[in-house]
Chain A
């Protein structure tokens, strides 16, 4: 096939049509993404609103993406990372809102959770209001309903012997890892965040 014949062929028309559709669709989605983008601040405000039923002031005490931030993470006996803190916010009522990610879930995927660390007189009391923020490769997260997640509150380390969602063992492991790193982190905040 000559070059001229190619440009007159059906193949060329097909490629051009598909490319045009892809370009227009891409441009449309880019514009809409700019207009409809939900930033971190809005997500935090939504989470606070879901938990407290109203908006509340907060200040950022930890942001893993902030320049110079020392990463708070946990590792297991083999030196593999099991979980890390993503964000922590000091709420106006003195409690902390923490977002952490637990690793070693199903297919080595991860689960990110939000939780509130209840504080009284600058002393950590318990984790509460656990909710799933995001997950990767976990196919059974629908098992983690609100009533199931409410059972994940407390102030003791989490493991599969005391917190297991039947049928979703690996995903539970990731949730436990996320909460364990949150637990370890909030204990460092006793006496007030620096």
Chain B
């Protein structure tokens, strides 16, 4: 039985602590290529989330059946099945997204995030935990891509989610070089904020444990 604390830990890991894009720098290829628009970022993120959830669930369910020697080919087979299924679903029901994602959709098969979570989490944990891990890691990837997509779309095209804001645009942000530039800035910004917040909580936790109440309040105020 899964405890709420487990869900919270998995959620924090996927969304922030081990965010695949900004902390682990995984799935860089679609991150750089598809964040020219925020909607592309959301589309790619949700596509990866779909594959992550289902592949994690199946891999976790079969973790005692799949021999260690052939685990990687087995994982790739399972992931490829869900990516193919996703392609069929998108082509049928959301053809515009299917076309905009182009070659990056089948490339989800070799996305490091999915294979990484299969190898490091799903193959060692129960089904429900793995499903939550897939969900939160996918959502972490989605928000990161959307965040980058918003920055690049606003600066590079003067739009946000397809709606024009102004005529001003800096084409550089829509280019490949702009993608690297924005990605680098986002990683730096995220890690700066994350480190500050983490050290704050660490200090507060330490203060509450070892200091008197007034000293702890004073430390927290810092």
How many residue pairs between the two chains, A and B, have CB atoms under 8 Å in the bound complex?
44
Asked if A60 lies at the interface with its beta carbon under 8 angstroms from chain B, I say no
User: Please, which residues of chain A bring their CB within 8 A of the CB of B80?
Assistant: 25
The interface residues of chain B lying within 8 Å CB-to-CB of A36 are: 88-89, 91-92
Q: Which of B76-91 contact A (CB under 8 A)?
A: 77-78, 80-81, 84-85, 88-89, 91
| Shortest CB distance B192–A (Å) | 33
User: Would you call B66 and A29 a contact (CB within 8 A)?
Assistant: no
A21-B74, A21-B77, A25-B77 known; A32 and B67 CB under 8 Å? no
Whether B88 contacts A17 by the Cβ 8 Å rule is no
Interface residues on A, range: 10 to 19
* Overall SS of chain A's interface: helix
Distance of B17 from chain A, by nearest CB (Å): 32
Asked whether B95 is an interface residue with its Cβ less than 8 Å from the other chain, the reply is: yes
* Residues in B whose Cβ lies below 8 Å from that of A13: 67
Residues of A108-158 contacting chain B, CB below 8 A: 141-142
Q: Which B residues are closer than 8 A to A by beta carbons? A: 62, 65-67, 69-70, 73-74, 77-78, 80-81, 84-85, 88-89, 91-92, 95, 102
Q: A18-B70, A21-B78, A36-B92 are in contact. List 14 more A-B contacts (CB 8 A).
A: A14-B69, A17-B66, A17-B70, A17-B74, A18-B74, A21-B62, A21-B77, A25-B80, A28-B85, A29-B84, A29-B85, A29-B88, A33-B88, A38-B95
